[in-house]
């Protein structure tokens, strides 16, 4: 047996389809899987990229860039300072915001939005942050449409049969080897509005980026409308552990007894990954109704800092809210009873 025969035999044993398939079958297989291949991927390795992540036609410029180009059309635009895509204190703030949403608003973030900016023609972190802010502003107005219990309609629309809701969300910006710059956003979307919201979100992103439509890969919305509360809580915290996978393995916090603990060990985040540097204004943030100032106004203290807490992901914030509402209703009844006694003429 010659070397060429041995090489051909090994190739046929390891990759039988490389030799046994006729050219017509190979072409039909290519046609079937062509729509699933990533732009720029090698012919036989559709899950890998040969160069930089795909970026579509350019989206509208950031106002800072547009103003510079208008004033200095022949000078390069000054670049913002690059920053590592590694979370530290931001991951703790995201945890506190999600816990505050459960404790104060009584909602569990039930939707996971993934926006891949390359498919929208955005490769700059500053531009992506600007478009994300505009998208969330539009989403807040869209979710307000509906009726307010006991207060009539909020706005006239086809969605007035659904209760009005606030836009509650947190997000983390990342850079991946395959997707490039992308954003993970956890939000609360009422189950009755989920299907309409996904359709609206695609049209909104297309409008903001100056397009008629966007590719399916540009926006992915996942989430389950599970009836059991503990399932929704588990899914929400599982998403949190995933989007904080860029948490610095060396970041630690001081305990009350003077010792230090690694935050990654407390959160049990997914395996660490660090992508390329970005120019995003913020790596992680959230809506104003659950961020740090809202927590300070309510005097909120996360269970992360409370003594004797075994599991920070058990959803006890919802139980605490229910107990607080019951106690407030009981106090109101007692106050009303005392006022009634004062009006009696005995």
Gap between the Cα atoms of 170 and 97, Å rounded: 7
Q: What is the pLDDT of residue 151?
A: 53
Q: What is the pLDDT of residue 54?
A: 62
Helices assigned H by DSSP within the chain: 3-14, 17-20, 23-33, 63-71, 89-100, 125-144, 194-208, 229-243, 263-267, 292-298, 316-342
What is the signed CA dihedral for 274, 279, 281, 284, rounded to 10 degrees?
Answer: -10
Name the domain count of the chain.
2
Residue 194 token pair: 């989920």
For the full predicted model, state whether its pTM sits above 0.75. yes
Gap between the Cα atoms of 169 and 26, Å rounded: 46
* Strand-pair category, 169-176 with 284-286: antiparallel
Nearest to 208 by CA among 289, 304, 136: 136
Gap between the Cα atoms of 41 and 35, Å rounded: 12
Domain span holding position 167: 89-315
Let me know whether 158 and 35 are in one domain: no
Let me know whether 136 and 250 are in one domain: yes
Q: Is residue 105 part of a domain?
A: yes
Let me know whether 41 and 147 are in one domain: no
Let me know whether 95 and 216 are in one domain: yes
Q: What is the pLDDT of residue 123?
A: 82
Q: With contact defined as beta carbons under 8 Å apart, do 217 and 116 qualify?
A: yes
Let me know whether 28 and 135 are in one domain: no
Q: Is residue 240 part of a domain?
A: yes
Let me know whether 171 and 30 are in one domain: no
Let me know whether 134 and 259 are in one domain: yes
Q: Is residue 5 part of a domain?
A: no
Gap between the Cα atoms of 151 and 88, Å rounded: 43
Q: Is residue 237 part of a domain?
A: yes
Let me know whether 278 and 168 are in one domain: yes
Q: Is residue 340 part of a domain?
A: no
Gap between the Cα atoms of 106 and 290, Å rounded: 12
Residue 340 token pair: 């009634």
Let me know whether 244 and 110 are in one domain: yes
Q: What is the pLDDT of residue 37?
A: 45
Let me know whether 263 and 152 are in one domain: yes
What are the backbone dihedrals phi and psi of residue 163, each rounded to the nearest 5 degrees, phi first?
A: -65, 140
Let me know whether 94 and 42 are in one domain: no
Gap between the Cα atoms of 268 and 266, Å rounded: 6
User: First CA to last CA across the chain, in angstroms?
Assistant: 117
CB environment 135-169: b (16+ within 10 A), e (fewer): bbebbbebbbbbbeeeeeebeeeebeebebbebbb
Q: What is the pLDDT of residue 138?
A: 96
Query: Which pLDDT tens digits describe the chain residue by residue (346 residues)?
Result: 555 554 444 444 444 444 445 566 555 544 544 444 444 445 554 444 445 566 666 777 777 777 767 777 877 878 888 889 999 999 999 999 999 999 999 999 999 999 999 999 998 899 999 999 999 999 999 999 876 665 554 455 555 557 789 999 999 999 988 889 999 999 999 988 999 999 999 999 999 998 888 999 999 999 867 778 899 999 999 999 999 999 999 999 887 777 888 999 999 999 998 888 899 989 999 999 999 999 999 999 998 888 777 789 999 999 999 998 898 888 888 888 888 777 766 5
Q: Is residue 228 part of a domain?
A: yes
Q: Is residue 245 part of a domain?
A: yes
Q: Is residue 13 part of a domain?
A: no
């Amino acid at each position: 047996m010659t070397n060429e025969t041995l090489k051909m035999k090994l190739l046929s044993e390891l990759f039988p389809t490389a030799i046994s398939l006729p050219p017509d079958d190979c072409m039909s297989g290519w046609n079937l899987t062509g729509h699933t291949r990533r732009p720029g991927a090698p012919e036989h390795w559709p899950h890998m990229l040969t160069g930089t992540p795909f970026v579509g036609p350019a989206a509208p410029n950031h106002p800072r860039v547009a103003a510079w180009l208008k004033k200095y059309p022949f000078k390069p635009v000054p670049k913002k300072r690059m920053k590592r895509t590694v979370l530290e204190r931001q991951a703790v703030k995201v945890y506190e915001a999600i816990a505050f949403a459960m404790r104060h608003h009584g909602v569990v973030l039930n939707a996971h939005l993934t926006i891949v900016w390359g498919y929208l023609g955005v490769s700059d972190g500053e531009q992506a942050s600007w478009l994300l802010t505009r998208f969330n502003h539009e989403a807040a107005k869209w979710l307000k449409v509906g009726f307010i219990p006991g207060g009539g309609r909020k706005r006239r629309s086809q969605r007035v049969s659904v209760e009005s809701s606030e836009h509650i969300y947190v997000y983390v910006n990342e850079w991946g080897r395959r997707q490039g710059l992308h954003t993970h956003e956890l939000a609360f979307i009422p189950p009755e509005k989920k299907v309409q919201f996904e359709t609206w979100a695609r049209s909104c992103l297309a409008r903001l980026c100056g397009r008629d439509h966007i590719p399916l890969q540009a926006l992915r919305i996942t989430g389950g409308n599970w009836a059991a509360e503990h399932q929704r809580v588990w899914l929400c915290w599982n998403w949190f552990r995933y989007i904080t996978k860029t948490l610095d393995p060396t970041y630690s916090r001081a305990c009350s007894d003077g010792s230090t603990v690694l935050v990654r060990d407390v959160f049990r985040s997914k395996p660490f990954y660090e992508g390329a540097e970005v120019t995003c204004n913020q790596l992680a943030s959230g809506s104003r109704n659950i961020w740090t100032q809202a927590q300070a106004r309510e005097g909120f203290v996360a269970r992360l800092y409370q003594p004797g807490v075994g599991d920070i992901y058990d959803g006890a914030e919802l139980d605490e809210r229910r107990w607080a509402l019951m106690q407030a209703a009981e106090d109101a009844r007692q106050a009303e009873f005392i006022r009634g006694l004062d009006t009696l003429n005995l």
